[in-house]
Amino acid sequence: MEEVLVMINAFLIGFILLWGAIHIKKPTSEVKDVMYFAIFSSAAYIWIFIMSTTKISNLSYSFTLKMLFPLAVYGFANMYVARVLYTYVPKKDYIAMLFPVGMFLLGALNLTYPFTRNIEWFAPYGFLMGAVFRAAMAIGAIKFVFYPIAPPKKEKKTIAPGNVYLFRNKEEAEQALPGLFSDNNVIVITRKDPRNFSLENGIFIYWITKIREGIIDDNPRIFAISPTKMDILIDLITKGLKQGYNVVYIDAFEYLMLENGFESAFKFLVSLKDRVLAENKTLIFVVSLDALSERQRKLIEREFKGYP
């Protein structure tokens, strides 16, 4: 009975980890994902049924045989999730890196467990390594969850919430919305030099660049991120909106389009707009429409139609 519970536990945790990894990579499950998990569930049920109703327990290697499939699922699930999470960790953030690295090593260790369980001299070292890997995961997870967005300095709000504004340049935006950067808590997504913005006014800057990643010049309000990590960027922005930022300013659309293609960059922009409005905040979108094709320009104008 104990071994049956271990098998169920391994399959269940493996299932949850894999399902979570899918939703980290994409917002919704596809039909093929559901089919894969249906096949996986059926295989797990058949395995547990066969292993618990046959006379395998009489064999000297029964534990190894029974746990081979469940712990393989559990181990590979940990390793796969670790691989997915690794892409979300900024380069050189070695503390946050402990989360996926510890999970990967824990998964690899569990792959060996059916074979090493009965090796007496190895068992103490195996359990010790498991404890170390879990401790590393816990430390890394704390940094991973709370990093990198910094909360606004104080409550600010002069721009009416729930709006989307389209401008051709930063000067036009500042002229139309006096106090945009000085009287609001603004998340800036820019390709320009962060020094073009005053950080004394509760601004947080995501500098879109491929040169480096992470905090710039030890300033917790300037964070460099790759243009190819738009899914990570939008999650970080959403977190910032929930923490008190009331305006999102983006002037890096052309660069995101260059690195990811128009379709992907446009989907990012639409998702960003939806999330900003869902939080009843304001989106300032700066783009040179002349740099776009007629089709691209019409798509943007249609999406922003009806907003001030």
Full set of structural domains in the chain with CATH: 2-146 (no CATH), 164-303 (3.40.50.300)
CA atoms within 13 A on the CB side of 37: 16
Q: Which residues lie below 8 Å from residue 154, measured CB to CB, with a gap of 6+?
A: 202
User: Is the Cβ–Cβ distance between 250 and 234 less than 8 Å?
Assistant: no
In DSSP terms, 282 is beta-bridged to 247
The pLDDT assigned to 74 comes to 94
Residue 160: DSSP 8-state: P
Q: What is the 8-class DSSP label of residue 289?
A: G
Q: Token digits for 54?
A: 């046959």
DSSP annotation of 180 reads T
CA atoms within 13 A on the CB side of 22: 15
d(CA 96, CA 307): 40
Amino acid in position 142: I
Contacts of 71 (CB under 8 A, 6+ apart): 10, 110, 111, 113, 114
- Check residue 144 and give its pLDDT: 73
Q: How far apart are CA 168 and CA 156, in angstroms?
A: 25
Per-residue pLDDT of the chain (308 residues; tens, 9 = 90+): 677 888 899 999 999 999 888 877 665 667 888 898 899 899 999 998 888 777 766 665 677 888 889 999 999 999 999 988 887 776 667 888 899 999 999 999 999 988 888 788 888 899 999 999 999 999 988 877 666 677 787 777 888 888 899 998 888 888 888 889 888 999 999 998 887 787 777 789 999 998 888 778 777 788 899 999 898 899 889 989 988 899 999 999 999 999 999 999 999 999 999 999 999 999 999 998 888 899 999 999 888 764 55
Element (H, E) at 190: strand 186-190
C-beta separation of 280 from 159 below 8 A: no
Residue 72 is predicted with a pLDDT of 93
pLDDT of the residue at 248: 96
pLDDT at site 306:
46
pLDDT attached to residue 137: 93
Q: Is the omega angle on the peptide bond into residue 161 within 30 degrees of 0, that is, cis?
A: no
Element (H, E) at 130: helix 123-146
pLDDT at 138: 92
